[in-house]
Each structure stands twice: as structure tokens, then as C-alpha cells.
Structure 1
Amino acid sequence: MALIDTVMATLHLVVGGLWTGSVLFFALAVLPTARAGNIRAAAFESVVSRLTMWSRGASLVMFATGGHLAGTRYTVDSLFGSGRGHLVLGMLALWFVLTGLVEVGRVRAKDGLAEKKVRTPAEKAAPFYLGAALVAVLLLVDAGLLLN
């Protein structure tokens, strides 16, 4: 069982780090480039699509691995009645919010991209992707607090 727990914890940390990092990279590097019109519509659409697919897959992995870790490390009482449990539940809520923001950002960007525009779709999607970046930072802070 220790090996399974180690694999789950490692997978959880690696996927979580890659997911939050990809959202931050997109919001801080790709999105400003698109908002300035310095990227082709097809390239921006491809990056948006890949981020969305990665986000969907990562959210499933995070839910499965996090569920395993929570199930083996916490009881219902300790999840709802301790500071560490509240951090775990907060993390779960933040993962759902992150997934939702990436999905809504995709929908906002997709409309104008069908017309081969870049600036307008990027502007419409920006609040959602920037919100996702903020949530990604909050997730990393939450994970850091759980390390103590």
C-alpha cells in the first residue's frame, strides 16, 4: 500500500504542478500575445484547445489521486473538523473553479476564433483566464500550506 500511496502522491503533485504552470504560462505569456494580435488565429486556437484538453485530463487525474490521498489520510471528521482538512476541501473547491474558468475561457475565445479573429476573442476570454491564473496561484499556496 505504501507504494500505491507514493505513486498517487507523486502523480498528484506532478500533474498539479504542470496544470497550474500551464494555466499561468497561458495567462501570462500566450494571452497577452493574442490580445496584442501578435499570434495567428489558428495558433491561438490550437493553444486554447490544448490547454482545455490538458485541463480536462488533469482535473480527472487530480480528482482521482486527490480522492485516494484524502481517503487514506483523512476521516470525514478530520476533513471537516481540522485546519488541514479545510485546506484539502479548499483545494478541491479551487480545482473545480480552475476547471470551470478554463472551460468558460475556451467558450469565450472560440466564438471569434471561428471568424479567424484573435484580439477580440482574447479580450473576451481574458478575465476568465486571468481568474484561472489567480486560482492557480491560490492552489499552489494551499499546497504549500499542506506541506507543513
Structure 2
Amino acid sequence: MSVADAVAYTTHLLFAGLWTGTVLFVTVGILPLGLRGDIRPAPFEFAVSRLSTVTRVSALALFVTGGHMAGNAYTVESLTGSPRGHLVLTMVALWFLLAALVEVGSARMRRGLNAEKVRTPARDGKPFLYAASVVALLLLVDAGLLAGGVVF
């Protein structure tokens, strides 16, 4: 493995952990406060803003590092014709879905937060953040299968 490959793998894992962890933290730790009205609009908006920033930066970092890794380890045939390739393609689809869910949920929450509300924005974003959390967990399972060499 080259130094560039090691940097790509390490960067990929760091941003994957940061992104999935942020989604799960906001869903489990921050969203319930908003649903109950136990958080003021400014800190809630800060958390939503950070979630959006982490999502956008991580999506870009994962695209670049994942593209590097896939370009060095796979061919079109091995991506489309092998169980490991299918796991990689599943991961790509899940990353896109995660980004979309977070962006839509964050946008819905920001609208209400701009009006200095908390409960309504939390309710508006809740289904998207719950779905994003499920996708984040599926991504971690997929990554574990790839890292462990498990093939079905």
C-alpha cells in the first residue's frame, strides 16, 4: 500500500466516522431537546448548521477519497460483478441518500428556526433525521462487512 492509499483510507474513515457520528448525535442528543422545547433557537440552529457543514464537507471528502480507493482497487467489472463490488456500490448509494436526507431535514428545520421556533422545526426535520440515522447505521454495517472481508 502506498502512502497516498494509506492517507486516502485514513481520511475516508475519519470523515465517515465524523459524518455518521454527527448525524446520530444530532438525532439522539439534540433533536429530542427541540421536540420538547428544552433548547433555545440559537443553539438548535447552531447544531443544525454544523450538521449541514459536516455533511457537505464529509460528502466531498468521501467522494474524493472513495474515488481514489475504488479507482485503485476495482474495475467496472469487479464493482458490478462481485459481492465486494456490490457492497461498495451500496455504500455509494447510501452516502448519496444520507446527504439528501440530511440536506432536506436541515432545510426544513432552518425555515422554522428563522422564525425563532423550536418545536415545529424539530418536528419538521424529525422524519428525515430518523431516516438519516438508519442510513448512517447501515453505512457502518456496510463498512464493517467490507473491512472484515465478509462476502455473501
Task: Please confirm whether the aligned pair reaches a TM-score higher than 0.5, indicating the same fold.
Answer: yes
Calculate percent identity across the aligned residue pairs. 55
SS of equivalent to 1:51: helix
Compute the displacement of 1:112 (Å).
1.1
Deviations 1:13-34 (CA, angstroms, capped at 9, x unpaired): 1110111011001111100111
The yes-or-no answer on 1:63 pairing with 2:69 is: no
Provide the rounded CA distance (Å) in 2 between the counterparts of 1:106 and 1:69: 30
Provide the rounded CA distance (Å) in 2 between the counterparts of 1:134 and 1:52: 17
Partner in structure 1 of residue 137 of structure 2? 137
The one-letter amino acid of 1:10's match is: T
Compute the displacement of 1:113 (Å).
0.8
Compute the displacement of 1:130 (Å).
0.7
Compute the displacement of 1:12 (Å).
0.3
Deviations 1:44-91 (CA, angstroms, capped at 9, x unpaired): 011101110110000000000000000000011000000000000000
Mark the runs of 5 or more structure 1 residues left unpaired by the alignment: none
The one-letter amino acid of 2:14's match is: V
The one-letter amino acid of 2:62's match is: M
The yes-or-no answer on 1:47 pairing with 2:13 is: no
Partner in structure 1 of residue 79 of structure 2? 79
Provide the rounded CA distance (Å) in 1 between the counterparts of 2:15 and 2:110: 26
Compute the displacement of 1:118 (Å).
0.1
* 4+ runs deviating over 4 angstroms: none
Provide the rounded CA distance (Å) in 2 between the counterparts of 1:64 and 1:29: 30
Partner in structure 1 of residue 36 of structure 2? 36
Compute the displacement of 1:106 (Å).
1.0
Mark the runs of 5 or more structure 2 residues left unpaired by the alignment: none
Residues 49-128 of structure 1 mapped to structure 2, 5 A cutoff: 49-128=49-128
The yes-or-no answer on 1:146 pairing with 2:146 is: yes
The one-letter amino acid of 2:89's match is: L
Give TM-score, length-normalised by structure 2. Answer: 0.95
Give TM-score, length-normalised by structure 1. Answer: 0.98
Compute the displacement of 1:111 (Å).
1.5
Provide the rounded CA distance (Å) in 1 between the counterparts of 2:111 and 2:57: 23
